[in-house]
Amino acid sequence: MQPVATTFFFYMLSSLAVLGGILVITRRNAVHSALALILTLLSVAGLYLMLYAPFVAGVQVILYAGGIMVLFLFVIMLVNLDKSQKEEQFNKIWVLGLLGALGLGALFIGAFLKSARSSDDIFHALLRRPLVTLADNSNTQEIGQMLYQNYLFAFEIASLLLLVAIIGAVVMAKKRAN
């Protein structure tokens, strides 16, 4: 298979995903943060398409960018934001969060440097592995076969758990209405 996207599209989608992630945590308006999260999720779906995973990209768009974000927006609209903005916020511990992020970044860099054999080999460590040839069969077909043949019991248990959660949410909503 020939690649369908160039490095330009990879860097464009990656920068959109990072920009959307930064906007999610820096916007004061919760609706603007939710819209930035939609931008991030759609960019990640584009990256999945570049990796020849159309099923995962479709699930990303339909389930996360569609369904979950609609739920987020409903919750944002139902919550009394004026009352929550007047309450004490947890933004006074940003120094601790910054130190944690720097520590995690140092841990990642240390693990990468330790995996490289010498200082000359650091920049070639990512390119050491040969390119993988992609199979011509469908990703969606393989996922369906694995899900309904090998993991059918786990799939049915997960669907029963979701059914119980839905019934519990309906019962709790009816009790609150009464």
Q: Where are the domains of the chain?
A: 1-101, 138-178
**Using CA atoms, how far apart are residues 32 and 34, in angstroms rounded to an integer?**
5
In contact, 44 and 60? CB cutoff 8 Å: yes
Look up the pTM and report it: 0.57
Res 145: pLDDT: 83
**Using CA atoms, how far apart are residues 49 and 35, in angstroms rounded to an integer?**
21
Cα dist from 40 to 32, 49, 89, 124, 157, whole Å:
12, 14, 25, 30, 31
Res 116: pLDDT: 62
What is the fold of 1-101?
Answer: Four Helix Bundle (Hemerythrin (Met), subunit A) (1.20.120)
Give pLDDT tens digits along the chain (178 positions). 555 557 888 899 999 999 999 999 998 888 888 889 999 999 999 999 888 888 889 988 988 888 888 888 777 777 666 655 555 555 667 788 889 989 998 988 887 777 665 555 555 555 555 555 556 667 778 878 888 888 888 889 988 998 898 888 888 777 766 6
Res 21: pLDDT: 93
